[in-house]
Structure 1
Amino acid sequence: MPHQSQAACMAIEDAAALGILFSGNHFTGDVFESLSIYESVRLPRATKVQAAAARASLNINERIGFSSNTDNPNYVVKSEQGKLTIEEMNA
């Protein structure tokens, strides 16, 4: 099920990354090489966003951006290192 509307955001980022990699300035003619670069750049970020959205479906404290609300006495996330902050989303 969709959570936090991140699928559309990831699709836009994917399209931008592919557009850059296959542009005249960067494309060398090797499709495999370009797709390998795309995967190495996009997979870690997309995986982290997907995992954060999945956690948020079970725990509202895991919502992207809200997970930085450490002053809330009910704040509990699975992992401080694994949470996805709004700063990371906007990077």
Structure 2
Amino acid sequence: MSSEKVAAFGESWNQMAVQMFKANQQMAQAWASAWSFPLGMPSSAVARKSFSRAAAQMQGATLRVLASGLGPVHRRATANAKRLGRVKRK
């Protein structure tokens, strides 16, 4: 049973690392587009909208990283609960 936990947490860390890599790329792209304006400085309303969109994307990315990390552990725990909850027939 402990080997299942180690495997589940290893899978969890791997999926979180992959998701974090994707999130970092998306965040860098969002911040780069927020700072690059083709015709000089935009109005403050446009800048606020751009930065708030980047912040919302960062928050969503954080939630996706956490969800991807909990997935493998939850699947194993649910499978173990089902397996251990079965009634043994004699």
Quickly name the TM-score band, shorter chain normalised.
Answer: 0.3 to 0.5
Bigger Cα Rg: 2
Give the TM-score normalised by the residue count of structure 2. Answer: 0.41
Q: TM-score, normalised by structure 1?
A: 0.41
Q: Which has the higher contact order (CA 8 A, sep 6+)?
A: 2
